[in-house]
Structure 1
Amino acid sequence: MVALFAGTIIFLSDEPTTAVDTAVAVDAGSSAEQTESPGQESEAPSKLVGNARVPVPDGLPASLEGTSLPGGWAKTDSNGSLVPTPQLRQLFEYYLAALGEETLPQLVARIEQALARLEEPARSEAMATLGNYLDYKLALGDLEVTYGNATSLDANEMQQRMAEIRALRRTWMDAQTADAFFASDEAVDQFQIEQLRIRTDESLSDGEREQALERAEQALPAPIREARRETRKFTDYQKARSQFADDPEALRAWREERFGDEAARQLEKVEAEQRAWDNKWQSYSSALRELDGLGLAGPEREAAVDSLRDEYFEGAEKLRAEALDSIR
């Protein structure tokens, strides 16, 4: 999705972009200032790559605790050369998202530790790609500063900024890497711009506008088109539930027409189970409030609550109730 922030286009994706870009720019500048001598220019953040002197804490930054390192990025060709992938960018962003908890040099060192699993020449190529990516992010921050604080852009202005950022990416990275890292994001960004252009085109009738939007969506990558279809199904279903709230048979017919017989039956089963759970949980909560009114405390209350759960729930439901009780 294209959004406006401080007059700039933010390209929303699975991982942080503009927010991290700015943090990289600030932290890279700070790191360079700490090491430069009088009369020297600040070093590019790519100079941090390969700096073996940077100590790395034993534990992960707090925001990364309990998370999994992105996979699928260690791809090479038959000659052992690196094959750039979206997952490699995800690896970079996985660590860069922790800026502020650790310095940029420390996070770069963490990325290098991950890249060390690669054999040559892929390892050196991945390190070079990391350096280029960091320099690109700093350059992007500089470019965004020039955009000022405009809060409203038309489609043509947004298109121009997107073109500038797209060109910047391919200035700092080769075309293969830039396409691997950003092609999906750029397709979504272009679609959002086309949506704005179509929706603000007063020459189009409602039917023409709908057809134009459908054609624009066809330019999206297949996985994104499918995700949008699934999202629309959910949105439409929520509307149908409200529309047919007092007519279960009509809702059942709508489900079968939209999702097919088997999926409709499964959906109806899940919803019935959820309604049963909701009713059971409400009754239990009411009984629990009455129990709390007795003034029990400590082990005595714990035993009484556990006994109450046994009355209303069994198996996995009891575990679910216990978990919900813990966050009341």
Structure 2
Amino acid sequence: MLQLRAPRLVWGLLGLALVATTWRWWPDAATSTSAVSGLAPGTPGVAFVHSLQDTVPDGDLGTRPGAEPALAPGPLPYAELKRLFDYYLSAVGEQTIAAITAEIAGDLDRRLSPDQRPAAKRLLALYLQFKLALVDMEKKPELAGTDAKATRQRLLAMQDLRSQFFSAEETQGMFGFEDDYDQDALARLEVNQNPALSAGQKKEQLAALDASQSAALREEREAPRVVLKIDQMAQALRAQGASEDDIYRMRSKELNPEAAARLAALDREEGAWKSRIASYLNDRSKLLQAQADAAPAQREAALAQLQQSQFSPDERRRLAAYEPSAPVWLGAQSPGL
């Protein structure tokens, strides 16, 4: 059954510019193993940042937030830990790396057995070090470019760098599926960019790649279309007057209860974002009317103060998309989607 996951970032295809842009501003990151191990737990039950309000942390660690940790140590769930790390690291821009690291450490304390926590925090420290090392790697001019050859060079360089931080077991557990996804995407890129192939030959080779996909990879590639279909079904039900409980039951049947709960949380987040934008646009309109005769600099300062009082720095960068006219926001998604 389809598992609802966050959109996958494929390093080989997207490049590493996002890493450099996001991470170079946080040199205060607590990335050593000892630093991570000594961090205090965060506050359970309170949204870490506004963009994560009404969401549930990714990563099935066997214990949901707020429940008692499992007593049996067991092996580390590497893939789920990486999903948990990435969930919190999506808050970069709203919080510092140090604060995010502390929040992750607190979640690990709440959801893992005492025997698992040191190894999980060690893995977190290595993951942060790896992320920061990617910034330096991205600066290498020989890795620039968007064609298939440059993309493969970046992918190989990233995998080589990764091996300096993680064991073979950790690499397979954390990145195994991601590597399969990247290799499949890269193979398709090479076919599409091969000038020696005719359109028919390209179609045949792409079909062969489709046929050779694993079930898990095929499900991952189908996920966006499935989610779009579910969204269209939800819109149709709402147009017929269905309740949110009706929407949840439909999603639970088509996907699974966990995915239905996540989509319901995203609905609440989107609704809250739209409400905030509507309130801001109303306040902005009143301010501009009150400041109609003020000097431009004074008016801009008042607008900046209004924005700072209602939005985080990361959210403020998105406001320009909504400011020209109020109707723009009606079909928009919240920044966390």
| Residues in 2 aligned to 1:50 and 1:225: alpha-carbon distance in whole angstroms | 38
Aligned with residue 163 of structure 2, among 164, 170, 187: 170
Deviations, residues 20-56 of structure 1 (Å, cap 9, x unaligned): 56534431x1357xxxxxxxxxxx5545302336987
Contact 2:36-2:125 at 8 Å conserved across structures: yes
Unaligned residue ranges in structure 1 (runs of 5+): 12-16, 33-43, 238-266, 278-326
**Match for 1:49 among 24, 31, 36?**
36
1:62 aligns with 2:50: yes
CA 1:193–1:174: 2 relative to 1, 3 Å? same
Query: What amino acid maps onto 2:18 in structure 1?
Result: A
Deviation digits for residues 112-161 of structure 1 (CA, Å, limit 9, x no counterpart): 111113224311111111111111101111101224794x4332221111
**Counterpart AA for 1:146:** K
* Backbone CA RMSD of aligned residues: 4.3
Determine if the alignment matches structure 1 residue 207 to structure 2 residue 200: yes
Alignment of 1:130-145 (within 5 A): 130-145=124-139
- TM (norm. structure 2) is 0.55
Counterpart residue number, 1:99: 92
Q: In the TM superposition, what whole-angstrom CA distance separates every residue of 1:156-179 from its partner, at most 9, and x where no partner exists?
A: 221111011012122211122222
Task: Classify 1:31/1:210 alpha carbon distance in 2 versus 1 (closer, same or farther; 3 Å).
Answer: closer
Query: May I ask how many residue pairs the two structures share in their alignment?
Result: 228
- Quote the Cα distance in structure 2 between the aligned partners of 1:18 and 1:9: 11
The match for 1:111 is: 104
- Output aligned runs, 1:3-14, within 5 Å: 9-10=13-14
Ranked by relative contact order (alpha carbons within 8 Å, sequence separation 6 or more), the top structure is 2
| Superposed CA offset, 1:180-220 (max 9, x none) | 22222222222222112112223323332212112223454
Structure number with bigger Rg = 1
1:30 maps to 28
Task: Work out the CA distance in 1 between the residues paired with 2:206 and 2:71.
Answer: 42
The one-letter code matched in structure 1 to 2:97 is L
Q: Secondary structure at the match of 1:90?
A: helix
1:187-198 mapped onto 2 (5 Å cutoff): 187-198=180-191
1:112/1:127 contact within 8 Å kept: yes
Contact 1:21–1:141 (CA<8 Å) still a contact in 2?
A: yes
Counterpart residue identity of residue 10, structure 1: L
Give 5+ residue unaligned stretches, structure 2. Answer: 1-7, 64-68, 241-329, 332-337
